[in-house]
């Protein structure tokens, strides 16, 4: 059985597509499986799309052990994912170095997340559990014409399985280290005449892998519950209506903790680094991640003789609370907590059609986001706690269109344009809540008071009359941004299995506002401008050796105007504008050399710089490395399957990834940089028509690798680090019916 994906039928060779919920094996097939993608918002073979895309079937995501959307980076060149506290409270995705490191809940990311055609605005909702997945698509480069919303650097699109005409289902159980218990199941089929349904559920729990050297249980536990229900109504052969309701819950999982280092030996209180080993410490507070995101969507598709009408209506809501120990040690010097209550509504109306030599699309898009947020930093050693209460209302309108015109039998012209109008209203009340010296001791313990003023908010308020902390009452801000995105490209089909493409794209992400965590930000610095990304790209998609080899490659240059960079000043994450350039490319190689063998290799190279960055002391440097932009990322997968009797298969799989060192702040710092690392995983499986049983190990070498970091040395004498999970082994069994 071939595990990798094929996207084109070379020279008339027949390809049988597999279904992860149906037939599990395809014997004696030494060719790559066909995958259909919707990168252009219509179904196409991946090799026919002049876009740099990585695509994975649901069967592949399961075999690779992907449970969370952050796992997608493991086999995707140029994609880097992280969670700033290691617990998916806010998920960060960066494609070709384009990402947003600000962990404030109101920010939208320039690398967009889509689920079943719907944009997910909240970064707090982006780190969701993946289950009952049909396929995953990762699109690199600006996608502003068709997908529009903030897809400056690219997007991830997760397409879930839909209701089926035949009754089917599965049960999937995983047991692993740290008392992991994961249960996934789905059932699908007809409910009545012209009515189909599908119900999918997931529940997962696991103990924490961060060893708590103080009191209490180990931390970074898992407690997830998700479900999705779908109804599909068919009105004849030309119209369908799909209703989908869903919910993802993280139920008071322990998180919000860090490894802590003191570069100078001690921090500002005189305490050293008591626990230097990765994933261990003695936090004074047990952090918490509590999220409930849910929604309902309706998709209507009507085919007429002249064109197809698609309407996607979506409402979603996320409620979130987060608490962390921001000093990483046993003394109560610094806590941080945040809450968000966000509602999002979107409506897309799209028409598409084709005639001889011409394919076209046109549409309208509306988005409304209303969010109520709060954040508080508890600093008893200074006797004052900065607290922010703020709201952000976003209303956006877009009109877009794209044509694909055959200039000749082998030359295709693609042209697209989108106009976006964004309006944002931001209201914030920032204040200092006083904490008396004795109250601090009563609440946080006798060792909680450091060398600060200790009795009131005078220390924080001494930073100046122009910072928002000292401004009375609610401060109100507005901004109105409008601009265009576009694409112009030529695709040249050299021969049946070789496609060349070259084009220029323009992406736009609207401006916004910083919510200063410590309140120590001047009013003029609250707002940042839109960023404009112009991309120049060439690429090739090719298949060789009768379809046993697929080689795709691309090279690009990005010119950034007003790149929205991330700077960490004191206790506040600030978004600032600077120009930037990114140059790089990717190569993806898939080989199925003989029966049962599958090999994939991906490499991405980046050179990303931000121009003229000004440090907090007023010094400006010419170039700094762009955040989340490692110079090199690579992935490798090798799989060998053996056909057994009665249609069974035994397979062995090894996969891994390499991430080069990367900066996590625009003001480059050795303490806010992750070192390079490699992670290797292994899996052994036995598959029949109805069963799939496997044993797996993730991070087989038990590598200690840093995925995120904050440099707080200047202000507090320490830095915070996040390490990935240690070695994790388990067994998994799936029964299909």
pLDDT digits (tens, 9 = 90+) for 567-608: 776 677 788 888 999 999 999 999 999 889 999 999 999 999
Quote the pLDDT of residue 640: 96
CB 479 within 8 A of CB 529: no
Quote the pLDDT of residue 696: 97
529 by Cβ neighbours in 10 Å (0-12 / 13-18 / 19+) ranks as middle
Quote the pLDDT of residue 486: 94
For 117, other C-beta atoms within 10 Å of its C-beta total: 18
Backbone angles phi, psi at 128, to 5 degrees: -95, 165
Residue with the bigger pLDDT between 567 and 235: it is 235
Residue with the bigger pLDDT between 633 and 34: it is 633
User: Which range (208-212, 331-335, 418-422, 687-691) has the least confidence?
Assistant: 331-335
Q: Classify strands 111-115 and 91-95 as parallel, antiparallel or unpaired.
A: unpaired
User: Which range (321-325, 469-473, 550-554) has the least confidence?
Assistant: 469-473
| H-helix or E-strand spanning residue 253 | strand 239-253
Q: Give the integer Cα–Cα distance in Å for 596 and 593.
A: 9
Quote the pLDDT of residue 33: 65
Q: Give the integer Cα–Cα distance in Å for 297 and 294.
A: 10
What DSSP assignment string belongs to 27-70? Answer: TT--SPEE-EE-TTSS-EEGGG--S-EEEEEHHHHHHTT--BGG
- Residue 477: pLDDT band by 50, 70, 90 thresholds? very high
CB 673 within 8 A of CB 709: yes
Quote the pLDDT of residue 735: 97
Residue 446: which region, alpha, beta or left (left: phi > 0; alpha: psi -120 to 50)? Answer: alpha
pLDDT one-digit tens code per residue, 290-304 = 999 999 999 999 999
Taking 90 as the threshold, does the pLDDT of residue 622 lie above it?
no
What pairs with residue 306 in β-bridges?
none
Quote the pLDDT of residue 237: 84
Quote the pLDDT of residue 556: 97
Residue with the bigger pLDDT between 270 and 172: it is 172
Quote the pLDDT of residue 166: 96
CB 68 within 8 A of CB 130: yes
Taking 70 as the threshold, does the pLDDT of residue 609 lie above it?
yes
| H-helix or E-strand spanning residue 630 | none
Q: Report the range out of 160-164, 463-467, 713-717 with the highest average pLDDT.
A: 160-164
- Residue 724: pLDDT band by 50, 70, 90 thresholds? very high
Residue with the bigger pLDDT between 24 and 243: it is 243
- Residue 670: pLDDT band by 50, 70, 90 thresholds? confident
Q: Where are the chain's structural domains? A: 5-736
Residue 69's Cα: distance from chain center in Å? 6
Taking 80 as the threshold, does the pLDDT of residue 13 lie above it?
no
CATH assignment, 5-736? 2.40.170.20
Taking 90 as the threshold, does the pLDDT of residue 441 lie above it?
no
471 by Cβ neighbours in 10 Å (0-12 / 13-18 / 19+) ranks as middle
Q: Give the integer Cα–Cα distance in Å for 606 and 618.
A: 29
The beta-strand segments (E) located in 496-628 are: 498-509, 512-513, 527-528, 531-544, 549-569, 572-591, 597-614, 620-625
Query: Whole-number mean pLDDT of the chain?
Result: 87
Nearest residue to 684 (alpha-carbon basis) of 664, 702, 705, 700: 700
Mean pLDDT of 643-671: 89
CB 352 within 8 A of CB 336: no
Taking 70 as the threshold, does the pLDDT of residue 443 lie above it?
no
Backbone angles phi, psi at 468, to 5 degrees: -65, -25
CB 712 within 8 A of CB 720: yes
Quote the pLDDT of residue 1: 43
CB 157 within 8 A of CB 139: yes
Taking 80 as the threshold, does the pLDDT of residue 661 lie above it?
yes
220 by Cβ neighbours in 10 Å (0-12 / 13-18 / 19+) ranks as buried
User: Nearest 5 degrees, angle CA 122-CA 126-CA 131?
Assistant: 140
Residue with the bigger pLDDT between 340 and 627: it is 340
Share of the chain above pLDDT 90, in %: 59
Taking 90 as the threshold, does the pLDDT of residue 246 lie above it?
yes
| Largest Cα–Cα separation, the chain | 81
User: Which range (3-12, 531-540, 710-719, 724-733) has the least confidence?
Assistant: 3-12
Quote the pLDDT of residue 624: 83
What DSSP assignment string belongs to 294-354? Answer: EEEEEEEEEE-SS-EEEEEEEEEEEEEEEEEESS-SSS-S-EEEEEEEEEEEEEEEEEEEE
User: Which range (138-142, 377-381, 551-555) has the least confidence?
Assistant: 377-381
- Residue 380: pLDDT band by 50, 70, 90 thresholds? low
């Amino acid at each position: 059985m071939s595990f990798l994906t094929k996207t084109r039928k070379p020279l008339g060779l027949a390809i049988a597509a597999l279904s992860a919920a149906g037939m599990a094996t395809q014997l004696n097939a030494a060719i790559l499986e066909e995958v259909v993608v919707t990168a252009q918002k219509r179904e196409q073979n991946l090799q026919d799309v002049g876009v740099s895309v990585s695509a994975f079937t649901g069967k592949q995501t399961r075999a690779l052990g992907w449970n969370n959307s952050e796992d997608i980076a493991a086999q995707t060149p140029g994609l880097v994912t992280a969670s700033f506290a290691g617990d998916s409270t806010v998920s960060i995705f960066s494609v070709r170095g384009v990402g947003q490191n600000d962990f404030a809940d109101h920010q939208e990311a320039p690398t967009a997340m889509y689920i079943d055609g719907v944009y997910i605005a909240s970064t707090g909702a982006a780190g969701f559990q993946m289950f009952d997945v049909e396929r995953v698509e990762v699109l690199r480069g600006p996608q502003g014409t068709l997908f529009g919303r903030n897809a400056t650097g690219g997007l991830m699109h997760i397409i879930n399985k839909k209701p089926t005409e035949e009754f089917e289902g599965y049960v999937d159980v995983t047991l692993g280290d740290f008392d992991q218990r994961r249960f996934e199941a789905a059932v699908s089929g007809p409910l009545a005449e012209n009515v189909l349904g599908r119900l999918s559920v997931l529940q997962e729990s696991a103990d924490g892998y961060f060893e708590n050297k103080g009191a209490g249980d180990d931390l970074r536990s898992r407690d997830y519950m998700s479900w999705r229900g779908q109804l599909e109504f068919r009105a004849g052969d030309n119209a369908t209506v799909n209703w989908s309701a869903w919910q993802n819950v993280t139920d008071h999982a322990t998180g919000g903790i860090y490894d802590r280092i003191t570069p100078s030996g001690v921090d500002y209180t005189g305490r050293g680094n008591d626990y230097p080993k990765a994933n261990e410490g003695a936090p004074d507070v047990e952090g918490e991640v509590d999220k409930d995101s849910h929604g309902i969507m309706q998709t209507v598709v009507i085919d007429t003789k002249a064109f197809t009408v698609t309407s996607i209506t979506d409402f979603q809501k996320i409620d979130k609370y987060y608490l962390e120990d921001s000093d990483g040690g046993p003394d109560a010097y610094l806590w941080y907590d945040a809450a968000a209550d966000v509602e999002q509504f979107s409506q897309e109306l799209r028409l598409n059609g084709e005639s001889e030599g011409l394919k076209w699309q046109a549409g309208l898009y509306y988005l409304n986001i209303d969010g109520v947020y709060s954040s508080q930093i508890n600093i008893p050693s200074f006797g004052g706690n900065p607290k922010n209460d703020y709201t952000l209302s976003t209303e956006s309108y877009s009109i877009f269109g794209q044509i694909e015109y055959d200039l000749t039998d082998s030359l295709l012209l693609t042209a697209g344009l989108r106009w976006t109008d964004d309006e944002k209203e931001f209201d914030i009340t920032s204040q200092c809540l006083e904490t008396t010296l004795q109250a601090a001791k009563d609440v946080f313990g006798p060792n909680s008071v450091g060398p600060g003023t200790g009795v009131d908010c005078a220390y924080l308020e001494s930073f100046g009359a122009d910072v928002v902390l000292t401004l009375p009452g609610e401060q109100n801000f507005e901004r109105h941004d409008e601009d265009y995105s576009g694409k112009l490209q030529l695709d040249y089909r050299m021969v049946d299995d070789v496609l060349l493409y070259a084009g220029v794209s323009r992406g736009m992400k609207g401006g916004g506002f910083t919510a200063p965590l410590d309140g120590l930000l001047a009013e003029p610095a609250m707002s940042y401008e839109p960023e404009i990304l112009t991309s120049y790209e060439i690429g090739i998609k090719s298949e060789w050796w009768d379809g046993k080899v697929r080689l795709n490659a691309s090279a690009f240059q990005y010119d950034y105007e007003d790149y929205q960079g991330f700077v960490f000043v004191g206790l506040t994450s600030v978004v600032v504008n600077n120009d930037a350039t990114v140059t790089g490319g990717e190569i993806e190689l898939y080989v199925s050399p003989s029966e049962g063998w599958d090999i994939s290799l991906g490499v991405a190279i980046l050179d990303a710089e931000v121009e003229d960055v000004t440090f907090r002391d007023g010094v400006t440097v010419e170039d700094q490395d762009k955040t989340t932009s490692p110079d090199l990322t690579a992935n490798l997968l090798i799989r060998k399957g053996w056909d057994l009797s009665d249609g069974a298969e035994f397979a062995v799989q090894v996969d891994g990834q390499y991430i080069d060192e990367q900066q996590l702040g625009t003001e480059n710092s050795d303490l806010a940089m992750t070192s390079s690392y490699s992670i290797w995983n292994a899996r052994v499986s036995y598959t029949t028509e109805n069963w799939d049983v496997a044993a797996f190990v993730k991070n087989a070498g038990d590598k200690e690798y840093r995925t995120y970091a904050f440099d707080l040395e200047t202000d507090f004498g320490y830095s915070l680090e996040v390490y990935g999970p240690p070695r994790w082994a388990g067994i998994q069994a799936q029964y299909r019916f």
